[in-house]
Amino acid sequence: MKSLSRLGVILIGLAIFGYSEVWGEEWVFVGDYYNFRLYYDAQSISRPSKDIVQITAKSEESEEFKKQQGGLETYEIVLLQFNCKEKRFRSLSHKVYSKDGEFKEDYKCPDGWLIIIPILDYIESLYKIVCK
């Protein structure tokens, strides 16, 4: 699996965030998962309603994966919402960029909420951060 976008296929077409350059991002490292490194923007955390938390996340290919793929370098910006009470999540927007910030791809996000399951350890990690 290539990165969060490739994992999106496993997640029944999970597709996530729309991104525009925003000053003042505070990317916090979450962990290494599969072939990517995951971060979230601490300044992006918001609560659109009582049990809902919204967060912007970013994934980058791991150094090892980039070597295996011959230097391919992209990152993905995703907008996620978590229903803390029901332990569910949904993606609102998902875009892929080259390392130099050039827009590459926009993924269509599925409608509805998905259950957070153990195989989605990176989603569960974000859930634990925002729904503590």
How many Å apart are CA 55 and CA 127, to the nearest integer? 10
Residue with tokens 């976008």, as numbered in its chain: 5
- Rounded to whole angstroms, what are the CA distances from 29 to 51, 52, 53, 59? 24, 22, 19, 10
Domain chopping of the chain, boundaries: 4-130
Check whether 3 has a pLDDT greater than 50. no
Q: What is the pTM of this model?
A: 0.75
DSSP per position, 9-54: HHTTS---------TT--EEEEEEETTEEEEEEGGG-EEEETTEEE
**Which pLDDT value is given to residue 2?**
44
How many Å apart are CA 116 and CA 101, to the nearest integer? 30
**Which pLDDT value is given to residue 24?**
62
Q: Provide CATH code, domain 4-130.
A: 2.40.128
Token code pair at residue 52: 């809902």
**Which pLDDT value is given to residue 63?**
80
Helix (H, G, I), strand (E, B) or coil at 107: strand
Token code pair at residue 44: 């992006």
13-37 residue pLDDT tens: 233 333 334 446 899 999 988 888 9
Name the DSSP letter for residue 1: -
**Which pLDDT value is given to residue 11?**
33
68-109 residue pLDDT tens: 777 668 899 999 999 999 999 999 999 999 888 889 988 888
